[in-house]
A and B are shown apart, each in its own frame.
Chain A
Amino acid sequence: MPMNDAVMLELDGIGCEYDGTRVVQGLSVRVRRGQVICLLGPSGCGKTTVLRAIAGFQALSCGRIYLRGQAVSEAGRTVAPERRGIGMVFQDYALFPHLDVLDNITFGLQKQTRAQRKQTAEKLLHMVDLHPIANRFPHELSGGQQQRVALARALAAKPDLVLLDEPFSSLDGDLRERLGQDVKSILKQQGITAVMVTHDQHEAFGMGDMVGVINHGRLLQWDTPFNLYHNPAERFVADFIGQGRFIDAILDTPDSLRTEFGIIQADRAFLWPPGTRVELLLRPDDILHDEAASLRGRIIKKAFKGAETLYTIKMPDGTELLSLFPSHLDFNLGDDVGLRIAADHVVAFSTPKREENPEYASTPST
């Protein structure tokens, strides 16, 4: 296997099974040194299993994992986690409750001398900003502080790869965002490669240089956050990432789509033949308020978001659309509003053909 020095971690078609059920299949990813990547997916999609396989807690049923160019996992052989030289931050932090912050951080450094340990701990405490509470116990700390301790502990042995398992899931939104940025800057500063698992797309977009979307144990798309949002490769990705609704459309020419709400001009040419039925993704920012427009709908749901308000609008034909209006335009439920569709990035998927479905099949008789 030719390996590039710049590749830190490579998953080569890995598969995992629990009692004969495949939870991860044929997943391949290559992570370069210094990259921070996120695995994103709904709960139960197998993303945590992938992380545990990288750490060495989960055996593979097929495929291989290469760490720093060495095969560390394959079917029937797993290098123990303690021999992989990785740091890991667990979902519920897994701090040792009977040790104070300092001892928690230096727990993995028992081979070092006392002076060395103290020096490392000083540096780490400084890095995660925990100096004042070095002698407190985990149960005396807030969630955010515990999170910082867990990170410091994972970094103590100076690993070049850190795995983070839904690290911010038990924190509130504001703190989550701030801590996420802190963690990312620490990782980048130290040049540490990181793999993070999360079900929160904002977290993934904020942290990841690259994001992999996983569903049912398969990697659906491996891309930058921008492309995932604006250029999803599959309907699931489009649906899972961001908000939006699908509407039916028919391809007139390669770059224009006919919908209930008029012709929509695409910024790209589609490869399907004209006449193909497609599903068109309309994100809330694709639909603008325009009282002069002939296209009208009735507001059925309203969610105030501060600067903007997210409205769910029912169109005369029953389709529901989502739209973001500036929040000074305040409408009530049941109000009739005019809309204009201004889709910059047009995302469409071909509709699965009803005719092929045997439930609807009619066989000609003789």
Chain B
Amino acid sequence: MTDTRGRIESISAGNRLEIHLSGRWEVGYAAELEIALAQLSPPVDQPVLIDLSGLDRLDTTGAWLIHRGSEALRSPRRSVTLSGARAEHEQLIARVSGLYQPCEIQPPAGNALIRLVARLGENALTVLDTAASFTAFIGLTTVTLLRSLLHPRRLRFNAITVHMEATGINALPIVSLISFLIGIVMVYQSAFQLTRFGAQIFVIDLLAFSVLRELGVLLTSIVVAGRSGSAFAAEIGSMKLHEEIDAMRALGMDPVEILVLPRILSLMVVLPLLVFTADVMALLGGAIMCWISLDIAPDLFLQRLRSAVDLPTFWIGIVKAPFFAGLIALTGCYEGLQVSGSAESVGQRTTRAVVESIFLVIVADALFSVVFTILGL
């Protein structure tokens, strides 16, 4: 017998391409046949006829090669026909072609560097997606807020008071204590530096400016983000997990109106008040420290304070508070509503709520600084 290995011959017949397969299409010749098949490249719109009449033997590997090869050649503008196969070969090809299972787990591609870049890109796109959906959430909340303001009876005053107590009154001790200590630390540190220039009295200017303009509002916002932003995310997240939010929607109630608005409104009212407390406590701490370490009596401290800062400085700090409050509450509620699946997700979303809201607060603070500088304040 002559050479029996599997062979491919392609002949151009008129305006179509005929591919004649012959010999033994078996696993032993699969590698060379695969290469030969891959080299076939007929013109785009030429019909292809695959003639199988010359096949001696066919096994599953061969049948699979023929099926895959003919599918690779097929395109919208090119028809591929199989013809001349013996009955048993045709049956085998039909059987094999029905068993195609795409590989679901792709092996990791490329080297470590490419994967790193790819991950960076994926994460960047995720961040963009999150930013877009957070913006949409802000829009949705704003629309709901305006609608509620038109029908003030739909505002849930009970819920607002409850949240004001939880986020405001209950936060007073910790906010006061932290501000008091910061006042002490500020005075202590700056006194040490300024004494070298004999400029102790400017300690008060430094303290008043930094606390009233920046530190008071920033510290309070960070504490509130950690306390209430996380609480919002966890509360709403666990409601989401227990399908309570779905239940609300099925009852025809809007979760944004019921859960998100009261939290945002109460925090926007409460945070400026907390900032005011923080300002007072920081100045108090500073005054006590001045008295102890620099021998500046309280009446002198007050006098100096009055000449160092004016009312706008105080307002600059306070005016930022409602904006920061809005950002913290929105982030907390947004992350809470994103919870899905397991209890683990509540934890992750809570962490994200805190990190994101602190980040947003600091970014917003920077923007405010730029705006106030431009306005000459």
Enumerate chain A interface residues (CB-CB to B < 8 A): 55-57, 80-83, 85-88, 90-92, 94-96, 107-108, 110, 153-154, 156-157, 163, 356-359, 361, 363-366
| CB atoms of A366 and B57 under 8 A apart | yes
Neighbouring B residues of A82 by C-beta, 8 Å: 249-254
The secondary-structure label for the interface of chain B is helix
- Cα A157 to Cα B250 in complex, Å, equals 10
| CB atoms of B95 and A90 under 8 A apart | no
Q: Which B190-228 residues have a C-beta within 8 angstroms of A?
A: none
Q: Which B35-70 residues have a C-beta within 8 angstroms of A?
A: 56-60, 63
**Given A88-B246, A94-B244, 18 further pairs, Cβ under 8 A:** A55-B250, A81-B246, A82-B250, A92-B243, A94-B243, A107-B248, A108-B251, A108-B253, A357-B95, A358-B92, A358-B95, A358-B96, A358-B99, A359-B60, A361-B91, A364-B88, A365-B57, A366-B57
| CB atoms of B246 and A110 under 8 A apart | no
CB-contact partner of A88 in B89, B92, B250, B254, under 8 A: B250
Neighbouring B residues of A56 by C-beta, 8 Å: 249
Q: Is B247 part of the binding interface, using a Cβ–Cβ cutoff of 8 Å?
A: yes
Neighbouring A residues of B96 by C-beta, 8 Å: 358
Interface residues on B, range: 20 to 34
Q: Please name the residue on chain A nearest to B62 by beta carbon.
A: A363
**Given the contacts A90-B243, A94-B243, A363 and B251 also touching, CB distance less than 8 Å:** no
Neighbouring A residues of B119 by C-beta, 8 Å: none
Nearest-CB distance from B30 to chain A (Å)?
A: 15
Enumerate chain B interface residues (CB-CB to A < 8 A): 56-60, 63, 88-89, 91-92, 95-96, 99, 242-244, 246-254
| CB atoms of B250 and A81 under 8 A apart | yes
| CB atoms of B56 and A94 under 8 A apart | no
CB-contact partner of B95 in A85, A154, A361, under 8 A: A361
- Cα A94 to Cα B60 in complex, Å, equals 54
Pairs A–B under 8 Å by Cβ, sample size 6: A154-B251, A163-B250, A357-B95, A358-B99, A361-B59, A363-B59
Nearest-CB distance from B266 to chain A (Å)?
A: 16
| CB atoms of A363 and B246 under 8 A apart | no
- Cα A88 to Cα B250 in complex, Å, equals 6
Neighbouring A residues of B252 by C-beta, 8 Å: 82-83, 85, 108, 157
| CB atoms of B253 and A154 under 8 A apart | no
Closest 6 CB pairs of A and B: A108-B251, A88-B250, A94-B243, A94-B247, A81-B249, A90-B243
Neighbouring B residues of A94 by C-beta, 8 Å: 242-244, 246-247
| CB atoms of A154 and B250 under 8 A apart | yes
Neighbouring B residues of A153 by C-beta, 8 Å: 247, 251
| CB atoms of A361 and B92 under 8 A apart | yes
- Cα A91 to Cα B242 in complex, Å, equals 9
| CB atoms of A107 and B57 under 8 A apart | no
Nearest-CB distance from A57 to chain B (Å)?
A: 6
Neighbouring B residues of A86 by C-beta, 8 Å: 250
Q: Please name the residue on chain A nearest to B162 by beta carbon.
A: A98
Nearest-CB distance from B154 to chain A (Å)?
A: 8
**Given the contacts A55-B250, A153-B251, A157-B251, A356 and B58 also touching, CB distance less than 8 Å:** no
- Cα A57 to Cα B92 in complex, Å, equals 45
CB-contact partner of B60 in A87, A91, A108, A361, under 8 A: A361
| CB atoms of A91 and B253 under 8 A apart | no
Q: Please name the residue on chain B nearest to A88 by beta carbon.
A: B250
| CB atoms of A363 and B57 under 8 A apart | yes
